[in-house]
Amino acid sequence: MANIGVNKGWERLSQIIEESGMTIHSFAMAIGLSRSETLYQIKRGQIGISHHIAELVTSHYPEYSKAWLQTGYGSKYADPISVKGHVPFYNCDLSRLPDIEHITPESYIYMPMLGCVDFAITYHGEDMSPSVPSGTILILSQIDANAIVFGNDYVVSTAHITTLRRIRATEDSIQYRLEADDPSRFDDLFIRRSDISAIYAVKARIILKN
């Protein structure tokens, strides 16, 4: 069944396309998409404006507000003072992280003191409890595997798992040990460095209390 109702996300994106003077296809090419079908899916209401698309648009057209483009909140045009520090928040579990670029953030968290971070996401798990209780909001920044500091907590994503664990070195330099906060409850996980598709440093944690 067709999506009935006003497509507010497309209304905002179409304003930028119209003001660029381009067609949908040429605009898609201009922002670095290999094909324009993604924009047509947004137009048809099949998908929302993801973090990835918003990044592409605002990196090529920095005069527009990324927060406004994704959520409709605030000014259409970017204000370097008011927009800086707004972290997109995805109210979903880490299992959705591999598809994060196709998900529209629920809101933004204003944390300018953190500098360059990628997004915030909710942690639902017990592996890192009690230091990171279920329901904690993680502020993440994607890093290269070479930047790992052993003994710190990271969100690690492979083809089979996406989890928050403490990374430890092993005698085998091509393998990491992923340690839970309470080893008596959860076994260590071992993964090959080459199997990591993405790794995120935990820049901050927001623990919600009742």
DSSP 8-class letter at 194: G
Choose among 113, 97, 127: nearest CA to 204: 113
Is the model's pLDDT at 2 over the cut of 50?
no
pLDDT reading at 97 higher than 90: no
Under a CB-based contact definition with an 8 Å cutoff, are residues 154 and 89 in contact? no
Q: Which CATH architecture has domain 8-81?
A: Orthogonal Bundle (1.10)
Which residue would you say has higher pLDDT here, 87 or 112? Answer: 87
Report how far residue 126's alpha carbon sits from residue 63's, in angstroms, rounded to the nearest whole number: 42
Instruction: Kindly report, residue by residue over 66-87, the tens digit of the pLDDT.
Output: 888 988 877 787 754 445 567 8
pLDDT tens, position by position, 133-146: 999 999 998 888 88
d(CA 151, CA 170): 12
Domain topology for 88-206: Umud Fragment, subunit A (2.10.109)
* H/E element, 178: strand 175-179
pTM of this structure:
0.62
SS3 assignment, position 106: coil
Domain spans, the chain: 8-81, 88-206
Give the DSSP letter of residue 77: B
| Tokens at 5, concatenated | 């109702």
> How many Å apart are CA 160 and CA 171, to the nearest integer?
23
Q: Which residues contact 160 (CB under 8 A, 6 or more apart)?
A: none
Question: What does the pLDDT average to over 2-30?
Answer: 83
Neighbours of 125 (CB within 10 A): 19
pLDDT value of residue 85: 66
Query: Which carries the bigger pLDDT value, residue 40 or residue 64?
Result: 40
Residue 4 has pLDDT above 70, yes or no: no
Confidence of residue 6 (pLDDT cuts 50, 70, 90): low
The proportion of the chain whose per-residue pLDDT surpasses 70, expressed as a percent, equals: 93
Cα(34)–Cα(37) distance, integer angstroms: 9
Task: Check: CB of residue 24 under 8 Å from CB of residue 16.
Answer: no
pLDDT of residue 210: 65
What's the DSSP call for residue 167? E
Look up residue 128 and give its DSSP letter: T
How confident is the model over 77-99, as a mean pLDDT? 75
On the question of a cis peptide bond just before residue 130, with omega within 30 degrees of 0, the verdict is: yes
Q: What is the mean pLDDT of residues 88-114?
A: 82
Q: Up-side HSE of residue 38: CA atoms within 13 Å toward CB?
A: 21
